[in-house]
Amino acid sequence: MTQPRTIDCETVRDLAPLYVLGALDAAEAAAIREHLAHCDDVHAELQELAEDAGSLLLSVEPADPPAAVRSRLLAAAESDLRDGRHPSVAAGVPVASDSAGDAEARDRPLPPAAAPAPSAVLPPAAASVPPATPARNDSAATPAGAEPVARSATPPVDLRVERERRRLRWATLGAAAAILLAFALGGYALTLRGQLADEQAYRQAVDQALQLAAEPGSATAVLAGAANASAGLGVIGADGRVELAMRGLSSTPGREVYTAWAIGPDGKPRSLGDFEVGGAGTGVASGTSPVTGAGTVLAVTREPGPGATTPTLPIVASGSATSASG
Amino acid sequence: MSRVHDDPVAKPGRLEEPADETLLAGLAAGRLEALDTLYDRYRSMAFGIARRITADDALAEDVVQEAFLGAWRGADRYVPGKGTVRTWLLSIVHHRAIDAVRRRRPAAELPSEQDGARTPEPLVLPDVWGEVAGNLDRDAVRAALGTLSDVQREALELAYFSGLTQVEIAERTGVPLGTVKGRVRLALGALRRELESSGAGGAS
C-alpha cells in the first residue's frame, strides 16, 4: 500500500502541474488527493492547470475500438446490476423486479412516498434492465467477422435495436430532471462515510425538493460552487416555499453558518435561513421566498454567525432556477 | 441550467440526442442504454487516448472498458460545476491508461507490490478535471504544441502520454528534478497562452 503523507498547500501548488498531467508516483498523488479532501483552500490553480492538461487529450488521433469492447463493457455492466455492484442496486439486496423505483433505490434515496416525483421525470419502463439479446454481433464499427469475440469470456450483448427504440424515450428526459436524479443518488457516497444522521437529513431534503419540484409552478435550481466540489439542489414552489439540499460543503466551526439566499429580478438577496454543516459536508434548508419562478437565483454564502441580512462574499454556490418541465 | 446544452459535442445535430449529463444520470440510475449511448459518443476518443499511452491495442481495449465501467459505477461522483462530462470521462481513460502502463512494467521497477498484473486496482476517479473549451479541435491543439520549444514539448509528452513519473522523466532526459517541474509548468502556461491567442479557446 502507498501511505499518503501529509503535505502543505505550498507543496501542492509546487506539484500541481505534474499532478494534473499524471506524472507523480502513486504516493505523491495520494498525498495531494488527501490534502485536497481536507484543505479549506479550493486550489483554483489546479482547475486551471487541469484545463490546460485536458486540452492535450484533444491532440490525440481518435481510433475506433473493436466492436467486442462494447460487448464486453455492456456484459460487465449488466453483471454489475445483477450482482449488486452498481450503486443503483442495493448491496446484498436482490434487485426488486416489481417496481421501477426500486431498481434505482440502492440505498433508498427516495422513500416510496416520493415515487410520484421521480416517475414523473423518468418513464417507469426505462428503469427496467433491458434483457440481453445474446445472439448478434455488434457490427456498428467493424464489418461482421472482422473481430471475432475471441477475448470475450461473456456472451456479447447487443443493444442496438434497444437503443433505437429508446432514443425517443431519452429525449423526453429533460436535462434538469436528470440532474435531479443525480442528486437523489448523490447521498450514496455519504453512506460509505458512515454519516448516517446527516445522510438521512440530506435524503429527506432531496426528497422534499423533488416533491416540491413535481408541483405545478415550481422552479428548480442546480447550485454549483466555483471551483470546489460543493453542489446542491434547490426548488422554489409557486407559493414561495423553498427546499434546499447541499453537499460538498466544508464544515462550520463555532458560530459559523451557511445562509441560503433568494435573489429576484431586483437583484436584492433575501435570506431564506441558516444552516450548519458537519463532517459529512451536507446541509439542508427550508424557507419561504418572497420571489418565485424561473430566473430566481438561489445562492449560499458562509456567514460568521446566524441571522445575516446581507450576504458575505464570496458566494459559495449558486444557481438560477428554471421551470421544472421535461 | 443552460451549461448542459452548451457543449457542442453533447449536441450532435439531432434534437432527440440526449445531453451528456442526461446520459450520466442514466448511468447513475443503472441504465445500460445510457452507457451504450455514452460509449458510442466517446469510444473513438477514448480508444485513441488509451492506445497513444499504452502503445498496445489489447491493453488499450481493456483500458477503455475499465474506464467506462468506472464511469458506470462512479457516475454519481461527477460534479456538474467542475467541468464537462467529456473531460471527466476522458480523464478517467487517461488515469486508467497511465495505471495500466505502470502495472505492465517489470516488478523491479515497481516500488511496491507486484500483484497488480491481473487484478485491476480500484479505479481512482479524477478529483480535478478541466473544462476544455468546446471550440478547441485537434488541429488547434497540435498547432499550439508546435509552437513550444522542443524540450517543453518533450516534457509534456513524457509527463502526459508516457506514464513516466517526474523522477523517471528526470532520469530519461538527464536533467534535475526541478528542471522537469519547471519545464512542465512553463509548457502548460505556454500552451494555454497559445491556445488563447489563436482564439481557439481558453477557459473563458
Residues A37 and A71 in one domain: no
Top mean pLDDT of B80-89, B109-118, B160-169 is at B160-169
pLDDT at B156: 94
More confident residue, A3 or A306: A306
Residue B169 grid coordinates? 522523466
pLDDT at B12: 44
Q: How far apart are alpha carbons A29 and A27 in whole angstroms?
A: 5
**Residue numbers of B between 37 and 66 with CB closer than 8 Å to A:** 37, 39-40, 43-49, 51-52, 58, 60-61, 64-65
**Residue numbers of B between 113 and 172 with CB closer than 8 Å to A:** 124, 127-133, 136-138, 141-142, 144-145, 156, 158-161, 163-167, 169
pLDDT at B31: 86
Q: Which residue of B has its CA nearest to A324?
A: B1
Are B167 and A25 an interchain contact pair (Cβ–Cβ within 8 Å)?
A: yes
Are A65 and B44 an interchain contact pair (Cβ–Cβ within 8 Å)?
A: yes
Per-residue pLDDT band at A264 (split at 50, 70, 90)? confident
pLDDT at A111: 34
Per-residue pLDDT band at A130 (split at 50, 70, 90)? very low
Residues A222 and A121 in one domain: no
Q: Which residue of A has its CA nearest to B169?
A: A23
Residues A88 and A19 in one domain: no
Predicted confidence (pLDDT) at residue B118 exceeds the cutoff of 50: no
Residues A154 and A282 in one domain: no
Mean pLDDT, range A279-306, rounded to an integer? 88
Average pLDDT, chain A: 71
Residue B106 to chain A, least CA–CA distance (Å): 16
The answer to whether position A206 is within a domain reads: yes
The answer to whether position A237 is within a domain reads: yes
The answer to whether position A4 is within a domain reads: no
Q: Which of A188-192, B103-107, B133-137 has the lowest mean pLDDT?
A: A188-192
Q: Which residue of A has its CA nearest to B142?
A: A59
Residues of chain B contacting residue A281, judged by C-beta atoms under 8 Å apart: none
For A148, counting Cβ atoms within 10 Å of its Cβ (0-12 exposed, 13-18 middle, 19+ buried), the class is exposed
Q: How far apart are alpha carbons A243 and A25 in whole angstroms?
A: 44
More confident residue, A155 or A303: A303
Are B33 and A78 an interchain contact pair (Cβ–Cβ within 8 Å)?
A: no
pLDDT at A9: 92
Question: Residue B137's Cα: distance from chain center in Å?
Answer: 15
Predicted confidence (pLDDT) at residue B170 exceeds the cutoff of 90: yes
CATH number for the domain harbouring residue A287: 2.60.40
Residues A230 and A316 in one domain: yes
Q: What percent of chain A has pLDDT over 90?
A: 18
Report the DSSP pairing between strands A297-303 and A257-263. Answer: antiparallel
Residue A265: which domain range?
176-323
Are B36 and A168 an interchain contact pair (Cβ–Cβ within 8 Å)?
A: no
Residues A201 and A95 in one domain: no
Residues of chain B contacting residue A296, judged by C-beta atoms under 8 Å apart: none
Dihedral sign (CA B192, B198, B203, B204): positive
The answer to whether position A3 is within a domain reads: no
pLDDT at B134: 58
Residues A231 and A163 in one domain: no
Q: Which CATH number fits domain B1-132: 1.10.1740.10, 2.102.10.10, 3.30.420.40, 3.30.420.240?
A: 1.10.1740.10
Residues of chain B contacting residue A109, judged by C-beta atoms under 8 Å apart: none
The predicted-structure confidence for A10-68, as pLDDT tens digits, reads as follows 999 999 999 999 999 988 999 998 898 888 887 888 888 888 888 899 899 999 999 99
Q: How far apart are alpha carbons B123 and A194 in whole angstroms?
A: 21
Residues A297 and A214 in one domain: yes
Dihedral sign (CA B103, B109, B115, B121): negative
pLDDT at A67: 93
B19 to chain A, any CB pair closer than 8 A? The answer is yes
Give the residue from A172, A195, A217 where a domain finishes: A172
A181 within 8 A of A117, measured Cβ to Cβ: no
Residues A250 and A306 in one domain: yes
More confident residue, A272 or B7: A272
Residue B57 grid coordinates? 491495442
Mean pLDDT, range A294-310, rounded to an integer? 90
The answer to whether position A208 is within a domain reads: yes
pLDDT at B173: 93
Top mean pLDDT of A52-56, A316-320, B147-151 is at B147-151
User: Which three-class secondary structure string do you get for chain A?
Assistant: CCCCCCCCHHHHHHHHHHHHHCCCCHHHHHHHHHHHHHCCCCCHHHHHHHHHHHHHHCCCCCCCCCHHHHHHHHHHHHHHHHHCCCCCCCCCCCCCCCCHHHHCCCCCCCCHHHCHHHHHHCCHHHHCCCCCCCCCCCCCCCCCCCCCCCCCCCCCCCCHHHHHHHHHHHHCCCHHHHHHHHHHHHCHHHHHCCCHHHHHHHHHHHHHHHHHHCCCCCEEEEEEECCCCCEEEEEECCCCEEEEEEECCCCCCCCCEEEEEEECCCCCEEEEEEECCCCCCCEEEEEECCCCCCCCEEEEEEECCCCCCCCCCCEEEEEECEECCC
**How many domains are there within chain A?**
3
Q: Which of A59-68, A117-126, B25-34 has the lowest mean pLDDT?
A: A117-126
Predicted confidence (pLDDT) at residue A211 exceeds the cutoff of 60: yes
pLDDT at B129: 63
Give the residue from A172, A198, A215 where a domain finishes: A172
Q: Could you tell me the residue ranges of all domains in chain B?
A: 1-132, 136-204
Per-residue pLDDT band at A326 (split at 50, 70, 90)? very low
The predicted-structure confidence for A75-117, as pLDDT tens digits, reads as follows 999 998 888 888 877 444 433 333 333 333 333 333 333 333 3
Residues A14 and A136 in one domain: no
Give the residue from A122, A148, A172 where a domain finishes: A172
Residues A102 and A53 in one domain: no
**Residue numbers of B between 78 and 117 with CB closer than 8 Å to A:** 78-83, 87, 90-91, 94-95, 98, 111-112
Residues A44 and A162 in one domain: no
Q: Which residue of B has its CA nearest to A221?
A: B1
Residue B158 to chain A, least CA–CA distance (Å): 8
Write the single-letter amino acid at A278: G
The predicted-structure confidence for B51-94, as pLDDT tens digits, reads as follows 999 999 999 999 999 999 999 999 988 877 777 889 899 999 99
Torsion of CA B29, B35, B36, B41, to 10 degrees: 130
The predicted-structure confidence for A138-194, as pLDDT tens digits, reads as follows 433 333 333 333 343 444 444 554 444 444 334 334 445 555 555 555 544 444 444
Mean pLDDT, range B184-201, rounded to an integer? 85
Mean pLDDT, range A263-290, rounded to an integer? 87
Altogether, the residues listed in chain A come to a count of: 326
Q: Write out the CATH class of domain B136-204.
A: mainly alpha
Are A186 and B76 an interchain contact pair (Cβ–Cβ within 8 Å)?
A: yes
β-bridge partners, A319: A298
